[in-house]
């Protein structure tokens, strides 16, 4: 369509007018901008922050308008939160973008949960540019702290003392804490089992403890309280309080007791355990080294897999004697002994390098009735290195196949250094005939310790080694760079004797390199020959074994591998053999778990079956603070599928009295599945610790004393008195007693639960004389402590001029390092002045004292006063001052005609 020229012109004019109007409108809009919707933001993301930390997030903002924009941010956070960044106004140009950084500090006590932070931005005219919110997630935190708030300084043995511990939940969630307490001296502790606390809550827990001492000496008992969050075992804390445990002041001379354990068992006859067992030992006489040892175990009805064997034995041992009665090995020597345990009595005496011994016994476990008696004498020193000895002995054995009389002689020589040579010769005549035996042993060395031995006995010799020859060699070195070498070789042969004509021989040789007691490599060679009724047999083996053990945190792993070659009884067929064993144990909390296994293939002298596999385990579970469950078992299979499995279970519960109750069960069968149906042995055991009295302690070294108040003369109760290694607490009359202190001079010290500032007067020394039968005594008085303080300064001359005005003396400042003494009727105390010229005597008793300044003086100076006497009242304080001043000098003024004038000038 064609537009007429006039119409086009009119349209151009109208368009121009519209553009002018639009430009005018834009100018008016720029003068008064409209900011509604002019600010665009990104929605802030959810932020996670732990209580007590800071969180920061960024928000992208953009100015959508064509005008500059002033942004006034407002952040509304929860109470007690603080704004670190984000509240400062900022300006954005037209179409300009920027980052709004918002940072907040969360209080440490902020509970876990989600919190909303309101975000708002206004322009300079107060119009709202944006509204949004930020969600802050505070995760749960588990933490606990313990603080001892109350404890006694000391407590009486056997009496209850109490302490207080503040348990504070440092987490931001409510929590329940499991509480456990223990005493380092084995005292009985009583405390709540658990405590529930809100976030930030604190509560005091009371702990009661009863600790009993067995001796007169005082000991420090450390009582620990541990709190563990039930929901998070990593949140745990502990606090301990230390309390000195002492005996009562009026405790009589205590009985000397021997520690022992009594076990009573209940089971049926088929189980075969001893119905009772009493084992103990300890010091026999107070102040002496004599020791008592005893074992009493009842007879089992049948043979038992638990190894119980009837035994009754009592032994005494001192510096110069040894006595034993009951079941024991009363062997005179390796050659003369029969190698069996008998029931009898024996005595050894040593005095002035001469020793005698004698014994008699009956072999009640031998198949034929038999008995034995013997005596010996030796000359020379004891068993120490360098002591030469020569001895003779005689044994008379009656009954049985070894009925005979035996005479022996032995000697110990030390030809060089620590080298020891032991020789013995024995001659027997009796039922087996006439025979002799001899032995020799050489040992010594420090860097390399060597031992060689040889023993031989004729087939007609009436001893356990008859018809046998034994020789051995062993050496081991000291550890060098944690490497140690060990080697050993031995041969044992029998040729007739022992009532047969059989011959046998065994040889063994090993060499081992040990590193750090954890790694070892061993080479071993063994051979065995025996002449049996149906022909001779010979077997041998050689192999290498490597062992390793490593601690990994709370776990321990170990393993061993062995490879080698062996021959069968014919000595011809050669085959390889090998074995591998692995194991490990780990502590899981209060529980301990151990697993082990072994597999072997190829028969050898050291193992019988051609193929054998073993798996086993041991588990110890702490089911409760006083209850332990232990389970162990093993399953062994041979190559033919034959095997045996057994399991041993034990449950032990500790009673508050210190006794325990144990239930033990052992089952066995072809495998673990059928073991429950196999033979079972079970019994209940009640174990009770005993302190058997055997007499009173030595009464020497007794001390009695009294602590009184200086002002009233009345006794002060509850005062801790220390004397040597012992400590005791005064009774209601202020009296205290000690016993068993060795002879010598002691200085006592005092302490009180609420000590304050006190001091005691009186003679603090106690002299104990072992020749005196009566007890030593002391009496001290307690009063408030006083103090003496003072200063040491110097005076100097200030020159005023050359005219008629005299010179003056002014303060020259403090003197440091000057010795000052405080002398009284009983004691003298010394102090040194500090940088400020000050000194102080604290804890001073009342009475007359003299303060004396000491030390060399500079030239031409003197102390204004050297000694200051004073009388100190009870709990009073006195202050003194010493001044070092210039010494006055005599000056002579001489004129031409003589001396005109004599003056004194400083």
pLDDT per residue over 330-351, tens digit each? 877 778 888 788 899 999 998 8
- At 14, the pLDDT band (50, 70, 90 cuts) reads very low
Higher per-residue pLDDT: 80 or 684: 684
The upper half-sphere exposure of residue 603, i.e. CA atoms within 13 Å in the direction of its Cβ, equals: 11
Closest CA to 173 of 114, 78, 109: 109
Highest average pLDDT, of 669-673, 687-691, 711-715, comes from 687-691
CA atoms of 401 and 41, how far apart (whole Å): 110
Tens of pLDDT, residue by residue over 744-791, are 888 887 776 655 567 777 777 888 876 666 778 888 888 888 889 999
Tens of pLDDT, residue by residue over 87-110, are 888 888 888 888 888 888 988 778
- Give the pLDDT confidence score for residue 339 in this predicted structure: 76
The three-class DSSP label of residue 30 is helix
- Give the pLDDT confidence score for residue 699 in this predicted structure: 58
Tens of pLDDT, residue by residue over 102-142, are 888 988 778 888 888 898 888 888 888 888 888 989 888 88
CA atoms of 786 and 788, how far apart (whole Å): 7
| Residue indicated by tokens 């005494």 | 316
* Residues in Cβ contact with 832 at an 8 Å cutoff, skipping those fewer than 6 apart: 817, 818, 819, 820, 839
Provide the pairing of β-strand 726-729 with 236-248.
parallel
CA atoms of 409 and 245, how far apart (whole Å): 56
> Once rounded to an integer, what is the mean pLDDT over residues 442-471?
90
Closest CA to 741 of 722, 758, 760, 755: 722
The three-class DSSP label of residue 75 is strand
- At 888, the pLDDT band (50, 70, 90 cuts) reads low
CA atoms of 317 and 283, how far apart (whole Å): 10
Provide the pairing of β-strand 255-266 with 680-696.
antiparallel
Provide the pairing of β-strand 877-886 with 786-798.
parallel
- Give the pLDDT confidence score for residue 31 in this predicted structure: 37
Closest CA to 461 of 395, 507, 532: 395
Read off the DSSP letter of residue 604: B
Contact at 8 Å (CB) between 206 and 225?
A: no
- Give the pLDDT confidence score for residue 395 in this predicted structure: 93
| pLDDT > 70 fraction of the chain, expressed in percent and rounded | 85
> Once rounded to an integer, what is the mean pLDDT over residues 145-149?
89
Number of neighbours of residue 154 by Cβ within 10 angstroms: 22
Please say if the pLDDT value at position 8 is more than 60: no
Contact at 8 Å (CB) between 718 and 230?
A: no
CA atoms of 274 and 310, how far apart (whole Å): 7
- Give the pLDDT confidence score for residue 538 in this predicted structure: 82
CA atoms of 467 and 896, how far apart (whole Å): 129
* Residues in Cβ contact with 588 at an 8 Å cutoff, skipping those fewer than 6 apart: none
Contact at 8 Å (CB) between 52 and 80?
A: no
Write down the mean pLDDT value for the chain: 82
Please say if the pLDDT value at position 464 is more than 60: yes
- Give the pLDDT confidence score for residue 585 in this predicted structure: 93
Q: What angle do CA 562, 564, 566 make, to 5 degrees?
A: 130
CA atoms of 692 and 137, how far apart (whole Å): 66
For the chain, state the CA radius of gyration.
Answer: 47
Please say if the pLDDT value at position 501 is more than 80: no
570-579, 617-626, 784-793, 872-881: least confident range: 570-579
The three-class DSSP label of residue 89 is coil
Closest CA to 343 of 325, 331, 322, 369: 325
CA atoms of 146 and 178, how far apart (whole Å): 13
- Give the pLDDT confidence score for residue 705 in this predicted structure: 86
- At 6, the pLDDT band (50, 70, 90 cuts) reads very low
* Residues in Cβ contact with 10 at an 8 Å cutoff, skipping those fewer than 6 apart: none
Beta strand segments in 698-854, E: 703-709, 719-723, 726-729, 735-738, 744-747, 749-752, 758-761, 765-768, 776-784, 786-798, 808-814, 819-823, 828-832, 838-844, 847-853
Higher per-residue pLDDT: 462 or 309: 462
The predicted model scores a pTM of: 0.52
| Residue indicated by tokens 């080697």 | 487
CA atoms of 535 and 526, how far apart (whole Å): 21
Tens of pLDDT, residue by residue over 798-839, are 765 555 555 677 888 898 888 999 998 777 888 889 989 999
- Give the pLDDT confidence score for residue 272 in this predicted structure: 76
């Amino acid at each position: 369509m064609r537009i007429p020229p006039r119409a086009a012109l009119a349209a151009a004019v109208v368009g121009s007018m519209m553009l002018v109007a639009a430009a005018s409108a834009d100018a008016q809009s720029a003068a008064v901008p409209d900011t509604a919707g002019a600010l665009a933001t990104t929605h802030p993301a959810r932020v996670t922050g732990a209580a007590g930390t800071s969180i920061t997030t960024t928000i992208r903002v953009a100015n959508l308008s064509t005008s500059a924009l002033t942004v006034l941010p407002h952040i509304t956070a929860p109470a007690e939160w603080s704004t670190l960044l984000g509240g400062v106004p900022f300006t954005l140009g037209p179409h300009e973008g920027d980052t709004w950084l918002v940072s907040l500090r969360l209080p440490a006590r902020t509970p876990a949960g989600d919190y909303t932070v309101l975000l708002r931005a206004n322009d300079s005219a107060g119009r709202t540019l944006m509204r949004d919110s930020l969600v802050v997630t505070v995760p749960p935190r588990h933490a606990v702290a313990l603080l001892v708030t109350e404890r006694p300084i000391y407590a009486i043995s056997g009496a209850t003392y109490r302490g207080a511990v503040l348990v504070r939940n440092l987490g931001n969630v409510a929590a329940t804490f499991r509480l456990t307490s223990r005493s380092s001296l084995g005292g009985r502790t009583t405390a709540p089992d658990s405590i529930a606390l809100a976030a930030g809550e604190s509560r005091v827990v009371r702990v009661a403890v009863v600790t009993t001492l067995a001796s007169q000496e005082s000991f420090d008992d450390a009582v620990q309280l541990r709190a563990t969050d039930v929901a998070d075992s990593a949140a745990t804390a502990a606090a301990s309080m230390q309390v000195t445990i002492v005996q009562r002041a009026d405790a009589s001379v205590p009985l000397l007791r021997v520690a022992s354990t009594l076990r009573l068992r209940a089971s049926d006859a088929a189980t075969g355990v001893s119905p009772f067992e009493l084992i103990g030992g300890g010091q026999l006489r107070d102040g002496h080294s004599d020791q008592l040892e005893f074992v009493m175990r009842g007879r089992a009805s049948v043979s038992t897999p638990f190894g119980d064997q009837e035994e009754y034995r009592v032994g005494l041992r001192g510096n110069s004697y040894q006595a034993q009665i009951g079941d024991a090995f009363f062997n005179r020597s390796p050659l003369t002994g029969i190698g069996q345990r008998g029931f009898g009595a024996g005595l050894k005496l040593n005095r002035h390098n001469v020793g005698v011994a004698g014994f008699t016994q009956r072999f009640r476990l031998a198949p034929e009735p038999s008995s034995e008696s013997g005596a010996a004498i030796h000359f020379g020193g004891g068993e120490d290195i360098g002591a030469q000895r020569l001895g003779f002995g005689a044994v008379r054995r009656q009954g049985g196949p070894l009925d005979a009389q035996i005479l022996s002689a032995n000697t110990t020589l030390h030809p060089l250094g620590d080298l020891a040579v032991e020789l013995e010769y024995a001659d027997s005549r009796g039922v087996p005939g006439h025979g002799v035996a001899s032995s020799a042993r050489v040992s010594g060395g420090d860097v390399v310790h060597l031992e060689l031995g040889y023993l031989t006995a004729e087939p007609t010799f009436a001893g356990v080694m008859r018809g046998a020859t034994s020789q051995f060699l062993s050496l081991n070195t000291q550890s060098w760079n944690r490497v140690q070498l060990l080697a050993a070789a031995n041969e044992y042969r029998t040729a007739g004797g022992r009532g047969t004509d059989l011959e046998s021989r065994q040889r063994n040789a090993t060499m081992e390199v040990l590193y750090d007691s954890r790694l070892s490599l061993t080479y071993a060679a063994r051979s065995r020959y025996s002449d049996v009724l149906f022909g001779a047999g010979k077997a041998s083996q050689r192999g290498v074994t490597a062992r390793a053990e490593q601690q990994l945190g709370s776990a321990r792993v170990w393993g061993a591998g062995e490879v080698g070659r062996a021959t069968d009884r014919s000595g011809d067929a050669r085959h390889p053999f090998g074995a591998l064993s692995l194991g490990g144990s780990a502590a899981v909390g209060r529980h301990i778990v151990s697993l082990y296994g072994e597999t072997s293939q190829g028969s050898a002298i050291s193992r019988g079956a051609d193929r054998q596999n073993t798996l086993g385990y041991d588990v110890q579970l702490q089911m409760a603070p006083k209850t332990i469950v232990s389970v162990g078992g093993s399953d062994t299979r041979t190559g033919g599928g034959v095997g045996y499995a057994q399991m041993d279970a034990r449950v032990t519960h500790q009673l508050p009295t210190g006794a325990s109750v144990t239930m033990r069960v052992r089952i066995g069968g072809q495998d673990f599945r059928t073991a429950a149906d196999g033979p079972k042995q079970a019994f209940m055991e009640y174990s009770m610790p005993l302190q058997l009295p055997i007499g009173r302690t030595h009464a020497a070294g007794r001390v009695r004393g009294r602590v009184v108040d200086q002002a009233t003369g009345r006794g002060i109760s509850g005062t801790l008195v220390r004397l040597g290694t012992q400590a005791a607490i005064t009774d209601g009359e202020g009296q205290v007693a000690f016993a068993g202190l060795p002879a010598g001079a002691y200085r006592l010290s005092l302490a009180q639960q609420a000590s304050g500032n006190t001091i005691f007067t009186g003679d603090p020394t106690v002299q104990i004389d072992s020749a005196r039968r009566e007890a030593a005594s002391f009496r001290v008085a307690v009063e408030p402590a006083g103090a003496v303080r003072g200063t040491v300064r110097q005076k100097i001359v200030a020159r005023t001029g050359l005219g008629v005005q005299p010179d003056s003396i002014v303060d020259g400042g403090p003197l440091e390092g000057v010795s000052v003494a405080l002398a009284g009727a009983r004691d003298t105390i010394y102090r040194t002045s500090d940088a400020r010229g000050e000194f102080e005597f604290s804890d001073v008793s009342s009475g007359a004292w003299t303060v004396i300044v000491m030390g060399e003086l500079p030239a031409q100076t003197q102390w204004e006063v050297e000694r200051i006497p004073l009388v100190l009242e009870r709990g009073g304080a006195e202050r003194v001052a010493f001044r070092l001043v210039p010494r006055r000098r005599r000056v002579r003024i001489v004129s031409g005609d003589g001396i005109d004038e004599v003056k004194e000038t400083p």
